[in-house]
Structure 1
């Protein structure tokens, strides 16, 4: 029974931390996007919106993978995946930028599953994730306006 409570507490702590991280990052990204990209932002700012999340992802992913071992390291992959998916909610990116985001997301997926990348469950998960990203790109404006649906 003690193990059940310990596992439950660990699970809920992760949910709470990821929730606060996600909300904070989304607010930061949205403010940066609205202030700099929509009014016709400079190329450097658009490049920063691509590379800054990538830098954070690399820190979270490789830090979790190589510095922290076991289940503690796996915890950092979910926020990293969230960082990569967030830009798909915003419609002002060009097709080239979206293609770069898809490439990086695919690279991250393969780096997270180096041993089992071609197993059916991993491939199905990737296809489902790409389907969700297609839905997000198609309905991004609606998902940003309707916060509950976006979450």
Structure 2
């Protein structure tokens, strides 16, 4: 091929093709918008996950606290079977004195420390002979679709 033919082919190629200079400003803005919406969605999911994680933690702690009281009752099984541990719904920490009053005070204090020191954090104990039920009631409205009153109930035979 001669030099003239090569030069003519180069000129035709330059005239027919549009040079690529990069992305336009509008394309960059659209990409930033899509990225920012995605990041906002991830942040919202993270916040929801933290709320639900706290709610699940509180439920597991409430279960552990019901077992704590049942274990204290098993340690003093004769008094528990006699109904000495029966406690109506109580939302404030009681004063101590006897072994039973100290067990109940420590349990109610643990409820307040673990599930929040609010008027809605309560405990209740009922017994029918050797079968006792321990209830923990607290406010779980911070969780996703959480109710204001959440109850965990454990029934056991002593």
TM-score, scaled to structure 2: 0.38
Structure number with bigger Rg: 2
* Bigger proportion of residues as helix: 1
TM-score, scaled to structure 1: 0.39
* Bigger proportion of residues as strand: 2
